[in-house]
Homo-oligomer: A and B are copies of this chain.
Amino acid sequence: MRICVINPNTATAMTEVIAVAARSVARPDAEIVAVTSPMGPASIESHYDEALAVPGLLRAIDDHPDHDGYLIACFGDPGLDAAREIAVAPVLGIAEAAMHVAAPLGRGFSIVTTLDRTIGRAGDLVEHYGFARQCRGIHACDIPVLELETNPATADILEKACREALHADGSDAIVLGCAGMADLAHRISDAIGAPVIDGVAAGVGMLSSMAAMGLRTGTASGEFASPPTKIYSGPLEGFGRT
């Protein structure tokens, strides 16, 4: 089976981190195809960035047909519903996947994300996916996305934020709130003595399971059927379905 992991920003260094995390947990019979968005923001740190990352994400899916699953590797899960309309295989966001894996690992989990301003979106997703009872808090570690890999103090700062969140919230597990943190899950878990869930690994696992089960996004209600054909204009002209 082939799982397509898409970094919806244009930072190839982050795609590398994501690819490594994805491959570290993949089934022996699964191939990980890691893709960087062909257009849009260099990182996603606002609703504005997130909205404008979606065209690149959708283009990436169209450019990589015939995979058995698609993972959107940004914790805002941008473009998820749209992606489900055009992909022939299941699509997950890493926030969604991480919460589905975290929920059964204890009574409650805490999310630790990058910047304060992303807390609102994470909270929306918690509500949307149904984890309002299980998610006991959302916290920021105040490191910009692209500094996660370059700031030598990232691991220490993040570990501290995770430990504090665990205790403040009375949680049993931590969900990492950015794809760029994927390489730190094990280290932090060992340090704080609690499960730490990286959404990239969680998503690869869930998509692989779905593929093994032969599952695809359901289209019975019509909502996730292919989008109607439509004329598009301007810089997005090429996006019109035909």
Contact = CB atoms under 8 A, between A and B. Distances in A.
A210 interface: yes
A128 B120 CA distance: 12
Contacts of A129: 103, 130
A203 to B, nearest CB: 9
Contacts of A116: 221-223
B232 A235 contact: no
Nearest to A127: B133
Interface string A210-223: 10111111111111
Contacts of A231: 41-42
Contact of A233 (B42, B58, B82): B42
Contacts of A68: none
Nearest to A40: B236
Given A10-B233, A106-B224, A206-B205, A81 B49 contact: no
A159 interface: no
Interface in A187-219: 189, 192-195, 197-198, 201-202, 204-206, 208-210, 212-219
Interface residues of A, number: 111
Interface centre among A41, A186, A216 (most CB of B within 10 A): A41
Q: Please state the number of chain copies in the assembly.
A: 6
A56 interface: yes
Contact of A194 (B54, B121, B218): B218
A56 to B, nearest CB: 7
Given A217-B172, A240-B41, A103 B100 contact: yes
A4 to B, nearest CB: 16
A237 to B, nearest CB: 8
A64 interface: no
A41 B90 CA distance: 25
Interface in A225-242: 225, 227-228, 230-237, 239-241
Given A40-B236, A171-B218, A194-B218, A49 B210 contact: no
A241 to B, nearest CB: 7
A120 B221 contact: yes
Given A51-B82, A104-B206, A212 B117 contact: no
Given A48-B227, A105-B217, A171-B218, 7 more contacts: A10-B233, A51-B82, A81-B120, A107-B123, A115-B222, A127-B127, A172-B224
